[in-house]
Structure 1
Amino acid sequence: MANTTSAKKATRKIARRTAVNKTRRTRVRGYIRKVEEAIASGDQEVAAAALKAAQPEMMRAAGKGVFHSNTVARKMSRLSRRVKAISA
């Protein structure tokens, strides 16, 4: 357990940030799940709309440091490629 006052404060700050980051991570995963479900249903319009809604959330999470920016870029690239493949 933390001994100094500053260490105790740091522990409290870490706990708050962890809660916020966990919420953001869960939110992004939910958006990704919606895109994947739309892809599975085979409806390109719904999938494209879901992807368009998911992109800002994913970029926001990358900007806040919840996910690495390369991870988000990779996921968006793969999802958009799968959405485009539906019409083919």
Structure 2
Amino acid sequence: MTLNHQHQLELLKDILSNHQTDCCGSVAECEQLERLVKSLMVNQHIHSSMKPLLENVYSYSQNGKNAGNLNQHIQSHQSQLSEWVADMNHFS
């Protein structure tokens, strides 16, 4: 079953919210974020003004999966995580 762009956005927000709330995460979650962002970036239903936000999330996820200490990486991005989720709520 394929997720539509609304479901993908909700999943993206859920993972980012969990990172923000729990201050921890997994490499698999970072990889899932990457897949979601890639799919959303090519989706014609996503507003173009959301693309920079998605690019930031993609960079965050790439850096996170390659970080020596993923939990520290997540903790250092707490304010961005909150902002990204809030911004996504404006688009959905």
Under TM normalisation by the shorter chain, which class is it?
0.3 to 0.5
Hey, which of these two has a bigger chunk of helix by percent?
Answer: 1
Structure with larger Rg: 1
TM-score scaled to structure 1, two decimals?
A: 0.42
TM-score scaled to structure 2, two decimals?
A: 0.41
